[in-house]
Structure 1
Amino acid sequence: MTEKTFLLCPGASKSGTTWIRTYLGRAPGADMGPLGEMQVWDAATVPEKAHFLMPRPPAYRRAEFRLHRALGVKPRGKVLRWHLQQDLSRYVPWFAARLDRPGIHLTGDVTPGYAALSTDSFRRIDSAFAERGITVKTVFTMRDPIERAWSLIKMYRRKAKLDDSLSDAEAFVQIFGPGGRGSTDPNYHVTLSRLGEVFGPERQFLTLYEDLFVPATISRLSDFAGIPAWPDAGAAPVNAAGDRSGLPQGVAEEVFPCFARDYEVVLGRLPQAETLWPHAHLLATS
C-alpha cells in the first residue's frame, strides 16, 4: 500500500518553489490542490503576513462554494483560501479529503510564507495529519541569501514598492543592510531550526536553488515524494560559480554581516553551497 503523504514546502521565496509545485502536481497519484500558494497558516498566525487574509466573500460566492463542495466541484481558489483561513481546523481535513480520492497518495502545500511559521504551527500541522495516519514531509529550497534578497529588491521595484528617489543598490542596503528591516521571512537558519524541532532528518528534503534543476536533485526529490522521476524536467543546470546578478561592486560586502549566519549554517548542512553560492566566499573574510 502506497504511503499517504502531505508535502509541506515552506519556501524559501525566490528559490524555485513554483517549479517544485508544478513538478509534483504533474505526477500520477498527486493532487496539489487548486491554488499555487495556499497562504493559510501564514496569514492566520504571522502578523507580518496578515495582508494575505482574504476579505469575506459576498453571500452568493459563499453559497456557490457550499454547492461546489457538496457536488465535489473544484472551488474558486480565493473563496477556498478564505474558508480555510477562517478556521485552521478545516485545513487538515480538506487535504485529507484529497488523499481519500481513488489513486491519490500525495498532496501538499507549497507556500513560501510558511518559512515564517512558528515551531508550534509546524507541530500542530504535523500532529493533525499524524492523527489521520498521514505522513508529513518537508521540502526547503534555499538560494544564495544575498542573491535572493537582490531578487526581492527587483520584485519590489516592479511592484512599485520602493522609493523612486533611491537606486536599487541604495534600497537594497537600506532594507537588507545593518539596521535594515529585512523581509517578512526569517533567515534560513531560523526556519531550519524550527523545522528540525518537529521533523526528523528522514522527513526533510533540503536543497539549493542553484542545483535544484539538475537530474540528480530531481531524482532525489522524486524519491523523497514517492513519485516517478523525470530527471530532465528541470532547466539546464544552473552554473552559479560567479556573480551574474548585476549587484554593484561592494554592495554584497556591505550587507554580508546581516546574512553571515545563514551562510555558516547552510554550508554546515550543504557543503556544496561553498561553490554554488556566489557570495559564500565572503564567509572566509568576515
Structure 2
Amino acid sequence: MAMVPDSLRSVIKRMVRGKPAPPPLPLPQRQLVLGLGAMKSGTTWLSDYLGGHPQFFHSPIKEMNAFASLYPDNPVYPSYIYKPGNSYRIWRMERIVLSFGVKPPRLDQTDAEQERFDRLRALAQLGRIAAVEDYLSFFAERIGSELHFGEISPSYAHLPPEAYTQMASLTQDVRFIFLMRDPTDRAASHLRHARRRVDKHVDLDDLLERVDASNPIFIRSDYRYTLNTLRDLGLAERCRFLIYEDLFNQDCMDSLCDWLGLPRYEAVFDKRLNPGVGDALSSEQLSRLRDRLAPIYDGLHSDPAVASATSWRW
C-alpha cells in the first residue's frame, strides 16, 4: 500500500473536519487594501461593506491605527502628534469581556462567540504591533483563502511620506483608498464628536473659534496633504479617491470592486453606522466654519480628485 505524504494527509484531515485547505498564496502575494480616511467621511460604512464581502478579509478591528503608532509625528504638522488610544482600546476590551457575563465563553459552540473572542484578542494584539512584521502576522494568522485583505484607519491620512512608502511595499499589490467629504460637513461632525468625547463643557461656539490651520479639526479636513503626498511618491495609480457624497450608491461600489479585482457585491445603503451625535451646528455656525476652512477649498478647487464634488460649499 502506497504511503500518503504528511502534507497530503494534513490537507485530507482539514477537508474531513470541514476546514478550508491552506491559502493558495502567501500573504505578500495577495492584495492589501488600506483605507486612509478621512475621519467622519464614511469609513465605518465602507469597512462594513468590505468586511461583508465574501472574498475580502477585513481586520476584526476597523481602525487598527498601526502605522499611526509606528509613525506618530509628521514634521509638516509639528503640533499634531498621534497619541495611541490605549484607554479607548482597553475600554473596548472591557466591553467585550463584560458582555460574556459571569461564565467563560464556550468557543466551541457558535461562530458569534468565536468572533467576539477574536475581537478581544485582536485588540490586545494591537498594543504589541511594534514593526511591519507584527502587522502582517496579525493578518496571516487569521486570513483564509481570501486574496484581498486590509483595514481602514482615518489616522493614516496625515502620515509622513516614509510611512506611505513602507505601506506600499508590504505586499506585491497594495491599494490605497481615501474618502473625502465636504470639508465643512466633515469638520462639523468632528466638532460634535470632539465635544461629546473630550470637550463636554466647552461651548460649541468656543470650539469653533479654535479651528485654525494648527487645529486637528482643520488638519483632518485638509485633504491636500494626503492627495499631494501620494502623488509625489508616485502612488497615484494605486489610489482610489472617493467622494463621500457619491459613496452610497451601487455604481460607486461596483466601480470600486472592479478596481480592486473583486466580484461585484450588493451594498446595504440604509444601514447607519457611527452616526453623528450631539447638537447640530446652526446655519450661521456652518457659515463661520466654512470661512475658517476657506484655504482648503481654495487649494482643492481645481484638483481632479474632487471634480465630482459639485455639492460642496465652493
Cα distance, 1:49 vs structure 2: 1.2
Which moved further from structure 2: 213-222 or 196-205?
196-205
Q: What do you get for the CA RMSD once the two structures are aligned?
A: 3.0
Please tell me whether residue 144 in structure 1 is matched to residue 182 in structure 2.
yes
Correspondence list, 1:46-195, <5 A = 46-47=72-73, 48-53=81-86, 74=118, 76-84=121-129, 86-98=130-142, 101=144, 103-130=145-172, 135-161=173-199, 163-164=201-202, 166=203, 168-172=204-208, 174-177=209-212, 181-183=215-217, 185=220, 187-195=222-230
Please tell me whether residue 43 in structure 1 is matched to residue 69 in structure 2.
yes
Question: Normalising by structure 1, what TM-score?
Answer: 0.74
Q: Which has the higher contact order (CA 8 A, sep 6+)?
A: 2
State the AA in 1 paired with 2:196: R
Name stretches of at least 5 consecutive residues in structure 2 with no aligned partner.
1-23, 74-80, 91-116, 272-279
Correspondence list, 1:220-235, <5 A = 220-235=255-270
Q: Distance between the aligned counterparts of 1:119 and 1:89, measured in 2?
A: 19
Contact 1:6/1:137 (<8 A) preserved: yes
Partner SS for 2:38 = coil
Q: Distance between the aligned counterparts of 2:299 and 2:183, measured in 1?
A: 7
State the AA in 1 paired with 2:223: Y
Contact 1:14/1:151 (<8 A) preserved: yes
Cα distance change, pair 55–16 in 1 and its aligned pair in 2 (3 A): closer
Q: Distance between the aligned counterparts of 2:211 and 2:166, measured in 1?
A: 32
State the AA in 1 paired with 2:296: F
Cα distance change, pair 199–220 in 1 and its aligned pair in 2 (3 A): farther
Name stretches of at least 5 consecutive residues in structure 1 with no aligned partner.
58-72, 237-243, 281-286
Which residue matches 1:32? Answer: 58
Cα distance, 1:231 vs structure 2: 4.4
**Percent identity for Structure 1 against Structure 2:** 24
Question: Normalising by structure 2, what TM-score?
Answer: 0.68
Q: How many residues align structurally?
A: 244
Cα distance change, pair 199–28 in 1 and its aligned pair in 2 (3 A): farther
Q: Distance between the aligned counterparts of 2:206 and 2:122, measured in 1?
A: 38
Q: Distance between the aligned counterparts of 1:214 and 1:246, measured in 2?
A: 28
Cα distance change, pair 160–201 in 1 and its aligned pair in 2 (3 A): closer
Partner SS for 1:128 = coil
Cα distance, 1:206 vs structure 2: 0.8
State the AA in 1 paired with 2:160: S
Please tell me whether residue 260 in structure 1 is matched to residue 297 in structure 2.
yes
State the AA in 2 paired with 1:124: Q
Which residue matches 1:202? Answer: 237
Q: Distance between the aligned counterparts of 1:11 and 1:143, measured in 2?
A: 10
